[in-house]
Amino acid sequence: MRFLKLILVLLFIAVPLVASADKAKTIDELAKMYDSSSCKGCHEDIYTQWEKSHHARPLMGVKGGLMLSPLAAKKGTDGATAFSEDDPKKMKIKNYPCFKCHLPQAITSAEDSVAVELTEALLAKDKVKIAKLQITCIVCHNTKAIIHKRELGEPEKGVIYSTKDMGAHPGGKIKKSAIFKDSIYCGQCHGLGPNLEFDQPFQCANLYGSYLHSYVSGGGTQTCQDCHMQKGDHLIAPNWNDDKGTSELLAKAISLDVQTLGYEWLRKAKTYVPKVVVSTKITTTAGHRIPDG
Partner 1 sequence: MVVTAKAADGKELGKVERHYHPQATNCRDFKMKYGAQWKVANLRDTSLQPGQAKKETIEFELPEGVRNADVTIELFYEASNPDNKYPIHTVTRKVSLDK
Give the interface with partner 1 as residue ranges (CB under 8 A).
Answer: 61-63, 65, 70-71, 81-83, 98, 193-194, 201-204, 206, 210-211, 214-215, 218-220, 240, 243, 246-247, 250-251, 254-256, 258, 260-264, 273-284, 286-292
CB of 73 to partner 1, least distance (A): 10
**Distance between CA atoms of residues 245 and 243, nearest Å:** 6
Torsion of CA 161, 166, 167, 172, to 10 degrees: -40
CB of 290 to partner 1, least distance (A): 4
Select 36 or 95, whichever has its Cβ closest to partner 1: 95
Strand partners, 255: 283
265-290 b/e (C-beta count within 10 Å ≥ 16 → b):
eeeeeeeeeeeeeeeeeeeeebbbee
Select 166 or 290, whichever has its Cβ closest to partner 1: 290
**Cβ neighbourhood burial of 199 (10 Å; 0-12, 13-18, 19+):** exposed
**Cβ-Cβ contacts under 8 Å for 253 (sequence gap 6 or more):** 284, 285, 286, 290
CB of 126 to partner 1, least distance (A): 20
CB of 206 to partner 1, least distance (A): 6
**Distance between CA atoms of residues 132 and 281, nearest Å:** 44
Select 182 or 292, whichever has its Cβ closest to partner 1: 292
Select 78 or 151, whichever has its Cβ closest to partner 1: 78
CB of 64 to partner 1, least distance (A): 10
**Distance between CA atoms of residues 229 and 185, nearest Å:** 13
- Asked whether the beta carbons of 159 and 172 are under 8 A apart, the reply is yes
DSSP strand pairing (194-195 vs 202-203): antiparallel
Select 131 or 253, whichever has its Cβ closest to partner 1: 253
Select 108 or 241, whichever has its Cβ closest to partner 1: 241
**Distance between CA atoms of residues 65 and 79, nearest Å:** 15
CB of 201 to partner 1, least distance (A): 5
CB of 34 to partner 1, least distance (A): 23
Select 36 or 69, whichever has its Cβ closest to partner 1: 69
